[in-house]
Chains A and B, each alone.
Chain A
Amino acid sequence: MDASQRVPLFGPLFVVAVLGMAAAYVRAIFFTPIEALQGAAQKIYYIHVPSALSAYLALTIVALMSIVYLWLGDERADRLAESAGEVGLLFLTGVLTTGPLWAKPIWGTWWTWDARLTLTLFLWFLTAGYLVLRGAIEDRAMRARYSAVLGILAAVLIPFIHLSVYLFNTLHPMPILLKPAKPSMPNEMVVTFLGFFAACAVLCIALIRARYRYGLERDALQAIESGGEEGD
């Protein structure tokens, strides 16, 4: 790999994601009405829920790529799973920090050991554990195999987290949009939410892509430094 061959980490997709996020921020801040009961804190919903959905997307990619790795032994699948795991942890951190900022003025407390909150925190620890495990094992094949199993198990939590508000008696609000019935929100708020969701999803994919490219270069460097063949 020489300097002329370098593919930039952040491509046009990242630019689209940044512009999309900027547009979503402007729409949410300046062109979306303030909710009557909760006040401006309700607008946290527009960043909190898309962050959660992006985390689910990233962790689903981890699980799918882990299955592909265990099935085919393809290193690209392992590298993509690692990339999605890191980005998934980022979005989960966004969820777990914006949630309390909404909960404090609305519930009167930053945190409660509610089923959905606790399961999401558990998923954060599992994802962090997934990344720590990857850093702790030297042997590449063993690292990929063990972390693939953990990546699949972590993703099993996602449907439980989504259904936790139905399965348990929780304080967390019921889904407003992701439910079989009509959204319980005015159209202008739905548009803001969908804009934020699209921007967050594109950002998630763009970051996974950039992290994957970083992984490629890191693996190429490791191959050179260990005196072996360069990675793909």
Chain B
Amino acid sequence: MILQPSGPPDTTGYYRVAYVWAALLYAGYAVLLWARGRRVWERLAASSREGQSGRDA
């Protein structure tokens, strides 16, 4: 059913909150995953460097 001249109820606030919340939720997870990946990768790179220097010595 499409908008009639009498107009629908004003429920804009709920819809805005839902859209902003969904964007924050999914983007927030992606950022968190990126941060976790970065932390693991830094530790992995440090372990590789330690292993390399151990072999060089």
Residues of A with Cβ closer than 8 Å to B?
1-3, 6, 9-10, 14, 21, 25, 28-29, 33-44, 47-48, 51, 87, 90, 93-94, 97-98, 101-102, 104-106, 186, 203, 207, 210-211, 213-214, 217-218, 220-221, 224-225
Q: Is the CB of A33 within 8 A of B3?
A: yes
From DSSP, what is the main secondary structure of chain A's interface residues? helix
CA distance A48 to B18 in the complex (A): 9
Further pairs besides A36-B4, A102-B14, A214-B33: 20, Cβ < 8 Å? A9-B33, A21-B26, A33-B2, A35-B1, A35-B3, A36-B1, A39-B8, A39-B12, A40-B14, A40-B16, A44-B15, A47-B22, A94-B26, A98-B22, A203-B26, A207-B33, A213-B37, A214-B36, A214-B40, A217-B44
B-side contacts of A29, CB under 8 Å: 19
From DSSP, what is the main secondary structure of chain B's interface residues? helix
A40 CB to closest chain B CB (Å) equals 4
A104 CB to closest chain B CB (Å) equals 6
CA distance A69 to B49 in the complex (A): 34
**Number of contacting residues on B, CB 8 A?**
34
B20 CB to closest chain A CB (Å) equals 10
Name B12-53 residues within 8 Å CB distance of A: 12, 14-19, 21-23, 25-26, 29-30, 33-34, 36-37, 40-41, 43-45, 47-48, 51
Residue from B15, B16, B29, B43 in contact with A207 in the complex, judged by beta carbons closer than 8 Å: B29
Q: Is the CB of B43 within 8 A of A221?
A: yes
Q: Is the CB of A9 within 8 A of B37?
A: yes
CA distance A57 to B3 in the complex (A): 33
B-side contacts of A87, CB under 8 Å: 29
